Amino acid sequence: MRSLLLAVLAAYVVAAIHAVLAFINKRRALQRVSEVALAAGFLLHTAALAADWIIAGHYPLFYLRETLSFLAWTLVASYSLLLYRYRARPLGTFILPLVSLLVFIATVTRSATESATNAVSVRDAWLFPVHTTLLFFAYAAFFVVFIASIMYLLQERELKLKTFGAIFHRLPSLTTVNEIATSSTAIGLTLLTVGIATGMLWASSRDGRLWHNDPKEIFAALTWLLYVSLIAYRSSASWRGRRAAWIGVAGFALVLCTFFGARMMGGYHVFG
């Protein structure tokens, strides 16, 4: 499926380039090209993931190539929902280059470098697709929170300095940014909670243990606590504020530790 993934990469690169140009030049025609290319890439990407699932015989979220590709797919799905709900097109300037990078790495990465032992043990567990899919959509939601937090901090700084540069006029309003951060935090935390719960059920059915004291489990628990505190803070501060934005940035650092923790430190979670 490498040829299909190359087509996906080409579509996403076109979408990313035109999104950046549209952000710089504020031209709707460039944005339309970006959205058409993104839609084409997403359809091809969905077909590529389905083909991988059918051909490989396991859910396409085990090897590194599959993991990066699926993460890119969830980011595109999340961005598409944001476009539909908020018309927040400037987010594409930050999300689509990352999506292109993830797909590029997935394209040049070979699955043969991964261990095949654990793939056999997880491919038949129905909780594995549910658990991993929920977590990856949670990661995508938290990335949106991170971007929204960065946007908030940039705009707040320009408001404080009263500079009002080009970036200020191209970003969504502070009200929209806060709403995006609020809804994305709530959605991400819900998905993370259910994802952790299904992971514990899957682990229990696999070897009778709910908790393995694994680095990924520890980071996931810390991430959950941080985003619970973020929701609590936003609730007590009318869901806005500079501190909430910084918590959103710190939260994504924990998300990165959760995502890469198993591969860097070893442990029970050697997949995804």
pLDDT of res. 244:
83
pLDDT of res. 117:
43
CB burial of 148-158 (b: ≥16 within 10 Å; e: otherwise) equals bbbbbbbbeeb
Euclidean distance between CA atoms 170 and 105, whole angstroms: 30
- Are 17 and 33 in contact by the 8 Å Cβ rule? The answer is no
| Inter-residue long-range contacts of 213-218, CB under 8 Å, 24+ positions, other chains counted | 214/262, 214/267, 214/268, 214/269, 215/261, 215/262, 215/264, 215/265, 215/266, 215/267, 215/269, 216/258, 216/261, 216/262, 216/267, 216/268, 216/269, 217/268, 217/269, 218/261
**Single-letter amino acid, residue 98:** L
pLDDT of res. 105:
94
Q: Residue 271: left (phi > 0), alpha (psi -120 to 50), or beta? A: beta
Tens digit of each residue's pLDDT (9 = 90 or more) over 230-262: 888 767 655 557 888 888 898 888 888 877 765
Q: Kindly write down the DSSP assignment for every residue of 73-131, as one continuous string.
A: HHHHHHHHHHHHHH--TTHHHHHHHHHHHHHHHHHH--GGGS-SHHHHHHTT-THHHHH
Tens digit of each residue's pLDDT (9 = 90 or more) over 151-172: 988 888 877 777 766 676 788 8
pLDDT of res. 41:
97
Euclidean distance between CA atoms 2 and 100, whole angstroms: 15
Considering the entire predicted model, what is its pTM? 0.86
Enumerate the domain spans of the chain. Answer: 1-69+89-115, 125-272
Q: Which residues of the chain have pLDDT under 70?
A: 1, 111-125, 164-166, 168, 208-212, 234, 236-240, 261-272
